[in-house]
Amino acid sequence: MKKSQVSFKVNGDAHRVEVFPMARLLDVLREEMQLTGTKEGCGEGECGACSVVVDGRIVNSCLVPVAQVDGSEIRTIEGVANDADLHAVQQAFIEHGGAQCGICTPGMVLAAVDLLERNPQPSEADIRTALAGNLCRCTGYMKIFESVIRAVDNAHR
Amino acid sequence: MDHPIGKSFPRKEGRKKVTGQALYVDDLSFPDMLHGATVRSPSPRGKITNITFGGDIPWDEFTVVTAKDVPGANYVALILNDQPYLADGFVNHAEEPVLLIAHRDKYLVEEARRNVVIEIEEQPAVFTLEESLAKKAIVWGEDNIFKKFLVDKGNVDDAWALADFIVEGEYETGAQEQLYIENNGAIAIARPGEGVTVWGSMQCPYYVHKALVKLFDLPEEKIRIIQTETGGGFGGKEEYPSLIAGHAALLAWKSGKPVKLIYDRAEDMVATTKRHPSRTRHKTAVSKDGKLLAMEIDFTIDGGAYCTLSPVVLSRGTIHAGGPYSCPNVRIHSRAVATNVPPHGAFRGFGAPQSIFALERHMDQCARVAGLTPEEFRRRNFIHEGETTATSQVIRERVDMDALLNRALQLSDYHAKRERFARENARSNGDGSFGIKRGIGFATFMHGAGFTGSGEVYLQSVVSAEATSEGTVQILAASTEIGQGTNTIFSQIASEALGVDFEMIDIIQPDTGRVPNSGPTVASRTSMVVGKLVESAVTALKQTLIGAGLLSEAYTTAAFRAACREYVTRFGPLKTSATYEPPPNVHWDDEKYQGDAYGAYAWAVYVAEVSYDELTYEARVEDFVALQEVGRVINPVLAAGQIEGGVAQAIGFTLFENVVWKDGRMANNQMTNYIIPTPVDIPPIRVYFEENPYAYGPGGAKGIGELPMDGAAPAILNAIENATGASFTHIPLMPEQLMERYEKEPSLVQG
Ligand code: FES
Ligand code: FES
């Protein structure tokens, strides 16, 4: 297989990389661009640790061949905070116990941010459904749900 | 200043974690780094007869390490030192590491690994604890037994004659995968002459250190182990990292280059440790007024192919087998046996969830036979201050299981629900249609914190504190942050003891080149035991400043800073240390297995409400109340997070997580077919604490981390019995087993 050029935007910046077209987006982000905030938990689309947003849709980057994102806009965990200002979801995760070991956290935060952008007033059932593809082994999810609810409250204060 | 203990300070390293800046081992890379892979045994047991390096692979570009390349001792130094780093001519379990390969190209390494063929002349193997006990083949030592214990209190034999009822039961628990979301991994740099440095995901840097000193036959100061941010452990990164760190280091030693060795999920699940499967038999003598007269308990765990930590897991399981009850005559026979599966290992609870599952299911059976409700039966037997546990430990702290039970039953609306469910379940049976049955059940239990018996005395843990010229205080401890909150808790303890701001405390990353040996991060010991050392070390620091005349008894944060600065300028570094000292009057007899098994226990009552769908055979937990007394709660949000996470894992252990074995190998080693609870599976977990400060814990705290793993499984199965009338004795309880049972006994549906 030959390498080819793929262009896309990551967190607002344009990039052009020379990669194998079937390389996983996850590896390209982590290895070519040193964006290691996106994690690998399973490599088979089960855990959501590798979640990123591609053209407004949350996807598991371990299942996406990089050729598929040619011309796309990608948002990773590194693009969620606005410089020093954390997103309300990130702040709430710190304060309300939404992160323990932190390995699922980038994916969880992105999934929660994505939910709030689509649905600014989610019910607990909405939150559970939106996060259904993101597994956490540490928290038992209670504090993650609470963090998302608090982030909603804070955004509306 | 306000008191930091008891407040929910935000997680110290939280910002790094929510922004993706926290660096886990796979996020690190070094110039010129190679990628390693492990080539494993295809068979469960036998002689290695041939190894071929095939395929279209440029083998001359690879570094290859076999048992012959080990510079020191080819075993993982732990308890019996029987597990080799690399199999040397003989394998004892499927997926046992046989050789290591490394190359610059990570994708090529993976392809190369698949092109190594290991041929084995197979020998008879045993795959279950029954086969091992029956000596179907002798696969370890003379009798397949790693370790045995006998606890003998009172006189069990004389009690049977006095019993009004004798209740017998047998209970089993399956293997469980820790399934931390970050897989195991390590990076090593090693040069003959210079030494070995390893970065890795781990709970116990000094375990790895001890193992690598032997593996390389190097002096202690030549081995340096650094913990990177760790994405969950739950015991799964207690002993295993010694193996993977050694493998990375062997490859680095031979190649002269940094080597990264990271498992993918399939490898992590198939090759690393799991919870010990268990079988427990109970025979109990009960009087007609519902008193426990004698308990005879036979407890067996499957240790897998090598001894590793099994004796210690067995010990904790044995001691917890008698529960929070006062019974004059108790005999517990226990043993850890060898099988040809990958060694089972540490997993939150460490043997206690297994024996407590059996006991708390059995207590419901005893209650039924004695004609009492589950709560009344337990009330008649609860242990009180001044009474003794199975190991004859006199409980000297205040304990009120009755009050805990009252509160838990009230919080869960137990009595009203039990009545309502009985009515509704009966009604829904009337028309012969399928429906939803509901039930509610509970478990009452305790969990000892810290190492068992004299363990803490042998460990001799040390913590240091150092004041900097900026006036901040650094805590130097080997206790790792693995998500449970070590960094935050230690900062709170230090800031409370010093009376200075939380922000002034820095927790130093565990690095054996820099921090003293505070013992392993296991056994619910970090807050209670190591936290106490943090408290003592910083108190010594404060005393030094006062003694030097730089600080008065009452001071502000600013005055403290100034004093530190002044001290360092005048006298140089200011560092103090504290070494473990046992609380007074703790006596343990390792021979007889009698005495004070643990310095302190956490006490708990967990209540589960379940629904059971007769059409799909699916049991679900609908509501969960977890009430516990854990001494003083240092950080309520973190503490509740520990309980919720543990209960969720325990729900998985009970109803979701089924390791499918095929010839000693896990067949469903993927997250697609080994299912853990997801955000839509978990009921509301309602956590409550009673606080009863423990005199020898920092700020009054006891241990908490493992407790939530203990009580959920029996509470859920007791609830399922309440819903269906069927008593299940095996977990995981999957819909298939429920279906089988119903097809055999259709009358159960009619309740
Ligand atoms: S790593 Fe992509 S879903 Fe798990
Ligand atoms: S915080 Fe550890 S997996 Fe979610």
CATH number at residue A135: 1.10.150.120
Helix (H) or strand (E) holding B378: helix B374-379
Measured between alpha carbons, how far is B339 from B285 in angstroms, rounded to an integer?
33
Tell how strand B46-53 and strand B116-122 pair up.
Answer: antiparallel
Residue A70 and residue A92 in one domain: no
Please give the Cα distance from A43 to A45 (Å, whole number): 6
Each residue of A51-106: pLDDT tens digit?
999 999 999 999 999 999 999 999 999 999 988 899 999 999 999 999 999 999 99
Paired with A17 in beta bridges are A6
Rg, Å, chain B Cα set: 27
- Give the structural domain span for A149: 88-155
Q: What is the mean pLDDT of residues B12-18?
A: 97
Contact by Cβ (8 Å): B285, B59: no
List residues bridging with B274 in a β-sheet: B177
Three-class SS state of B71 = coil
Q: Do A64 and A95 belong together in one domain?
A: no
Bridge-based pairing of strands B223-227 and B195-200 is parallel
For the stretch B465-474, pLDDT in tens is 999 999 999 9
Instruction: Verify that A29 and A92 share a domain, yes or no.
Output: no
**Given B16, B23, B181, which is nearest A135 (Cβ)?**
B181
Q: Would you call A140 and B19 a contact, using CB atoms and an 8 Å cutoff?
A: no
For residue A76, which residues of chain B lie inside 8 Å, CB to CB? 20
The single-letter DSSP state of residue B414 is H
CA distance B438 to B412: 14
Judged by CB atoms closer than 8 Å, whether chains meet at B18 and A42 is answered as no
- The neighbour count for residue B320, using CB atoms within 10 Å, is 29
Which residues of chain B from 596 to 635 reach within 8 Å of chain A, CB to CB?
A: none
pLDDT at position B750 is: 45
Q: Would you tell me the crossing angle of helices B486-498 and B531-547 to the nearest 10 degrees?
A: 30
A92 and A149 assigned to the same domain:
yes
CB B181 less than 6 A from any atom of ligand 2? yes
User: Cβ–Cβ of B645/A101 closer than 8 Å?
Assistant: no
Q: What are phi and psi of A27, to 5 degrees?
A: -70, -35
If you average pLDDT over residues B503-530, what whole number do you get? 95
Distance CA B678, CA A140 (A): 9
CB contacts, 8 Å: A136 with chain B = 181, 679
Tokens 């970050």: give the residue: B182
CB-based contact B646 A97, cutoff 8 Å:
no
Helix (H) or strand (E) run with residue B117 in it: strand B116-122
CATH code (residue A60): 3.10.20.30
Residues 456 through 495 of chain B touching chain A, CB cutoff 8 Å: 482-485
pLDDT of residue B2: 79
Which domains are assigned to chain B?
14-21+461-579 (3.30.365.10), 32-123+184-262 (3.90.1170.50), 129-177+274-355 (3.30.365.10), 407-441+600-748 (3.30.365.10)
Query: Same domain, yes or no, for A36 and A103?
Result: no
A-B Cβ pairs (cutoff 8 Å, strict): 168
Question: Region B676-682: what's the mean pLDDT?
Answer: 97
Residues making up chain A, counted from first to last:
157
Count of beta carbons in the 10 Å neighbourhood of residue A157: 5
CB B44 within 8 A of CB B664: yes
Q: Which residues of B528-548 are buried (b: 16+ CB within 10 A; e: fewer)?
A: bbbbbbbbbbbbbbbebbeee
- Which residue has the least CA distance to atom 4 on ligand 2? A136
Q: Report the SS3 class of residue A87.
A: coil
Cβ of B637 and A94 within 8 Å?
A: no
Q: How far apart are CA B321 and CA B194, in angstroms?
A: 49
Per-residue pLDDT tens digits for A19-49: 999 999 999 999 999 999 999 999 999 999 9
pTM: 0.97
Q: Report the separation in Å between the CA atom of A136 and the middle of ligand 1, taken as the mean of its atom positions.
A: 12
- Residue B452 banded pLDDT, cuts 50, 70, 90: confident
A93 shares its domain with A74 = no
**Contacts with A, B 180-219, CB within 8 Å:** 180-183
| Size of chain B, expressed as the number of residues it contains | 751
Rounded mean pLDDT of chain B?
96
A140 and A94 belong to one structural domain: yes
Residue B433 confidence (pLDDT):
63
| d(C-alpha A93, C-alpha A88), whole Å | 9
CA of A38 to the centre of ligand 1 (A): 10
Q: Are residues A121 and A97 in the same domain?
A: yes
Pick from B532, B586, B529, B455: nearest CA to B705: B529
Give A127's contacts in chain B (Cβ within 8 Å). 679
CB atoms < 10 A from the CB of A119, how many? 13
Domains: count for chain A: 2
What is the Cα–Cα distance from B554 to B534, expressed in whole angstroms?
A: 21
d(CA B421, CA B426): 8
Q: Does B105 touch chain A (CB under 8 A)?
A: no
A5, burial (CB in 10 Å: exposed 0-12, middle 13-18, buried 19+): exposed
B16, B483, B678: residue with CB nearest A135: B678
Residue B220 CA from chain centroid, whole number: 28
Whether residues A92 and A147 fall in one domain: yes
Same domain as A107, residue A73: no
How distant, in Å, are the alpha carbons of B590, B608, B610, B736 from that of B421?
48, 13, 10, 24
| pLDDT tens per residue across span B145-179 | 999 999 999 999 999 999 999 999 999 999 999 99
Q: Give the mean model confidence (pLDDT) for residues B454-479.
A: 94
Please indicate whether, in this complex, the C-beta atoms of A143 and B22 are within 8 angstroms of each other: no
Report the percentage of chain A scoring pLDDT > 90. 94
Q: Would you place residue B584 in the very low, low, confident or very high pLDDT band (cuts 50, 70, 90)?
A: confident
B597 in Cβ contact with B389 (< 8 Å): yes
Closest CA relative to residue B616, chosen from B435, B747, B440, B424: B435
Tell which A residues from 30 to 89 touch B, by Cβ distance under 8 Å: 30, 35-44, 46-47, 49, 76-78, 80-81, 86
- Paired sense of beta strands A13-19 and B462-467, if any: unpaired
DSSP B483: S
* pLDDT tens-digit series, residues B329-380: 999 999 999 999 999 999 999 999 999 999 999 999 999 999 999 999 999 9
Fill in the amino acid letter for B647.
V
Report the C-alpha gap between B232 and A103 in whole angstroms.
Answer: 8
Whether residue B732 is preceded by a cis peptide bond, meaning omega within 30 degrees of 0, is yes
Most B CBs within 10 Å, among A60, A139, A142, to test the B interface:
A142
Same domain, A74 and A137: no
Q: Does residue B441 contact residue B722 with C-beta atoms inside 8 Å?
A: yes
Domain boundary among A29, A53, A79: A79
Token look-up 């007899």 returns B589
Q: Which of the listed residues A79, A99, A117 is the one where a domain comes to its end?
A: A79
By three-state DSSP, how is residue B69 classified? helix
Q: A93 and A72 in one domain? A: no
Nearest beta carbon to residue B232 from set A38, A77, A101: A101
Q: What is the 8-class DSSP label of residue A82?
A: B
Q: Is A96 on the interface with B (CB under 8 A)?
A: yes
Residue A121 CB coordination number (10 Å): 9
- Across the interface, which of B18, B484, B676 has its CB nearest the CB of A105? B18
Q: Is the CB of B641 under 6 A from ligand 2?
A: no
Nearest CA to ligand 2 atom 3: A136
Domain final residue, candidates A27, A59, A79: A79
Task: Using the atom order of ligand 2, give the atom closest to the CA of residue A101.
Answer: 2
Give yes or no for A93 touching B (CB within 8 A): yes
Structure token pair of residue B347: 């997993």
Cα–Cα nearest to B479, from B706, B244, B243, B227: B227
